[in-house]
Chains A and B, each alone.
Chain A
Amino acid sequence: MSDSTAIAHGAAETPGHVHGEHPPYQRHHFETVEQQADATNFAMWLFLLTEIMFFGGLFTAYLIYRNWYYPAFVAGSHQLNIFWGTANTAVLISSSFTMAMGVWCAETRRKGGLVLCLVLTFILGLVFLGIKTIEYSEKIEKHHVPGFHYSLQSFLNPDSDPEAKAAGDKPLPLDMARHTEVYFSLYFAMTGMHALHMIIGISILGFMIFRAQAGAYTTGHVTFVENFGLYWHFVDIIWIFLFPLLYLISRHQ
């Protein structure tokens, strides 16, 4: 290319590169810091696309089996505690709120506010996992974990089971009772995969709290917080769908 049509890339081609030309956090293969922010933001959205398709397989399986084995899914759903489920939904929505506020604090350079919001999000995430632990241990106790001594008693004889009795369940025929195992498989697969994403998110949050306290995100370089926010909201959206699909199949009689 001839010189008359070339664009000089600032000070990059001179040895002893001067960092005053661009912020220190700008990588050298980017022309401007806006390009870098744009590109990384787009990359996070593409990653979320892969997550949509990843969970998509599970939702497909769920839809098919719910339609094939509706009574089993109803009985299985009645085994879940609606109080904990609603609480968890509220917890996650609140954590999305605190995360969004955290991004706002980063954008408006409020270091203290950012740290507070991240800490709140962190705590709410842990609360979610705590409630999940309570729910899972209850399932383990009642032998509703697929594959491991799975018990059909609650579905063949609902009066023996407090949750089934409270929901007014009728006994299921044997083959339909067996299909409750498919419901719980999907319950554990979907909530388990979701919880795994929560754990990863909370770990990154822990890292971010330290970095935020050091002022890394309140000097104009907000992309990490923003992009993590996108991830966190996405995990919330997954739960927004998991909650009615798993917990609220039919509470009316």
Chain B
Amino acid sequence: MSEHTSQTANHGGHEHHVTPPIVYVAIFITLLVFTALTVGASYVEMGVWNPVVAIAIGVVKATLVVLFFMGVKYSTKLTKLTVGAGVFMFIVLISMTLADYISRAWGRW
């Protein structure tokens, strides 16, 4: 049979992790709880923190989906890097475009 040097065989040594259903159930319930939380939070007056809290809860929910439903917690470094690259580019697009808009009427945003 063929032998592979571990430098190039990305598929060598990576065990395919099967997540037990109980984890999925726990994540499912957590996501529903956070959904209720975000709806509730929108009824509470928090001034400038409202959108922050909403996005933060969204990020937590998305992270749970990515890590557990999509299995990234148990995936290769390459997959994690890919997810990170996507998030990074998304943030670059938004933040650098916003940099223009924020600074247009500086002080009057």
> Which of B21, B43, B82 interacts with A252 by CB under 8 Å?
B43
* CA A42 to CA B69, docked complex, whole Å: 16
A101 within 8 A of B: yes
A8 within 8 A of B: yes
Q: Is the interface of A mostly helix, strand, loop or mixed?
A: helix
Contact B82 A10 (CB under 8 A): no
User: Which A-B residue pairs are the 10 nearest by beta carbons?
Assistant: A248-B42, A34-B11, A244-B54, A97-B28, A49-B86, A251-B42, A252-B45, A38-B11, A52-B86, A100-B69
In chain A, positions 207-253 with a C-beta closer than 8 Å to chain B are 229-230, 233-234, 236-237, 240-241, 243-245, 248-253
- Which residues of B does A touch, CB under 8 Å? 2-3, 10-12, 14, 16, 18-21, 24-25, 27-28, 31-32, 35, 38-39, 41-45, 50-51, 54-55, 57-58, 61-62, 65-66, 68-70, 78-79, 82-83, 85-87, 89-90, 93-94, 97-98, 101, 109
Contact B66 A93 (CB under 8 A): no
**Chain A, 27-68, contact with B by CB distance < 8 Å: what is the 0/1 string?**
000011011011001100110110011001101100110010
Contact B54 A94 (CB under 8 A): no
A150 within 8 A of B: no
Q: For the complex, count residues of A whose C-beta is within 8 A of B.
A: 56
Contact A100 B24 (CB under 8 A): yes
**Given contacts A7-B2, A63-B94, are A93 and B78 in contact (CB under 8 A)?**
no
**Given contacts A48-B86, A244-B57, A248-B42, are A38 and B93 in contact (CB under 8 A)?**
no
Contact B90 A53 (CB under 8 A): yes
